[in-house]
Structure 1
Amino acid sequence: MGKRRERRRDNDQFVKEKMAFDIMLQRKMKLYCRAYLVDAHILPDDSSKASVSKDTEWQRLHDINRTWIYSTISPSLLPSIVRPDDSALDAWKRVEKNFHNKTFCILHLKSQFNEISLSNFPNVKSYCNELEHIATTLTNHGTTIFDSLLTLQVLLGLTSDNRTFRSLAQHLKPTPSFDSLRSMLELEEHTNNKDKSPS
């Protein structure tokens, strides 16, 4: 009984997501067709074959700009940006609201910073680079991430494969700087990879 209910819930979720995707696709398709002047070729309505007026040309320019906005935005943000038949300026203002809300941006970055884990990266270098990038972005938004906090977050995000390294690094006095810890981790990773590879 429980599995059937779970399957039904999964199916309902799939149907909702599929409907949302279809609506989004229809809106984007209409936008592309108008922007690239091909709507007269694929829409059955003869009214779209009217000559290009100043209003139609202006709408086309809006559609080109909206197309650019929609195609460059993250897919996760797209549903909050797309509106049927709005102007490029309105779409842009919605994008700005997502990125220029300083408090929201800082909260989002802090959340990323606190949840980052080496398991999501191919190697130590990319993991540390991403942590450093988030810390720099936070600093640029007025929230300073001190080196000691960066060092601590590097250790917290290590996987169980690095348990021994983490334990030893936590007891070093003084606590190593972020750059020192990164070098130590990269050397550890190199040594481990070398030990695993066949001779």
Structure 2
Amino acid sequence: MGKGEEGEPHHTHEKNDEVDMELFKFHSVAYRVINHIDDTPPPESADPTYTDWKELDALVSQWIYSTVSDDLLTRILDTEASARTTWLKLEKIFLSNKKAKAAALETRFVNLTLAACSSVDDYCKQLKDIANQLDDVDEPVTESRLVLQLVRGLSQEYDTTASLINSQDADWDLARSMLNDEVIRQAARQQQSSSVLVASTVPNSTTQSQQPSAATSSPDNTTATNSGSYQSNYRGRGRGKHG
């Protein structure tokens, strides 16, 4: 959430089904409008500051509306409501959906495997992202469980590294480092194997190209052929003279 041309936070075009409420609160503090969404009472309508407060409150409501998805917007939009009232609506919606979301995230977490990801880095990133989302819905994942799930979802070629991670009781950062080292080692070994294969096939191709073909006559056959031709010509010339 950055700062727009007129001082308001602007948002990316991509909308999520839920607002990142903690991040919105953070920006509300930075822009000194947190009192419009917390339980701070508004000024009385007769207060000289009420008009300015009302205008700023409408701006905060606008920021909230611009953050949520279109589907969620239809559920909370109320131009007569204060920013605090709109915020409470969001909290109620999120709390009611929290358990269902936690169950879905838990299923994704335990079923994610390296085979379903594009790389080891992608696998680690997705696993960590799901763990963070579980923490957001008050279902935190401990580091030891995160590492355990990381090992559980590895492919067979990482069995040795998985055993080392378990035996060393590695934390998340160490486990990722060990996996990255193994990726580098396997890539180097594969490259070396490819080089050896190419080197072993080149001499065979050269040898085959140097072998004479079946159509090529041996020196002995060539000599015999030439000798026969010479004798035939010689006899022919002899008969011609006698004639």
Q: Which has the higher contact order (CA 8 A, sep 6+)?
A: 1
Task: Please identify the structure whose Cα radius of gyration is greater.
Answer: 2
Give the TM-score of the pair, scaled to structure 2: 0.41
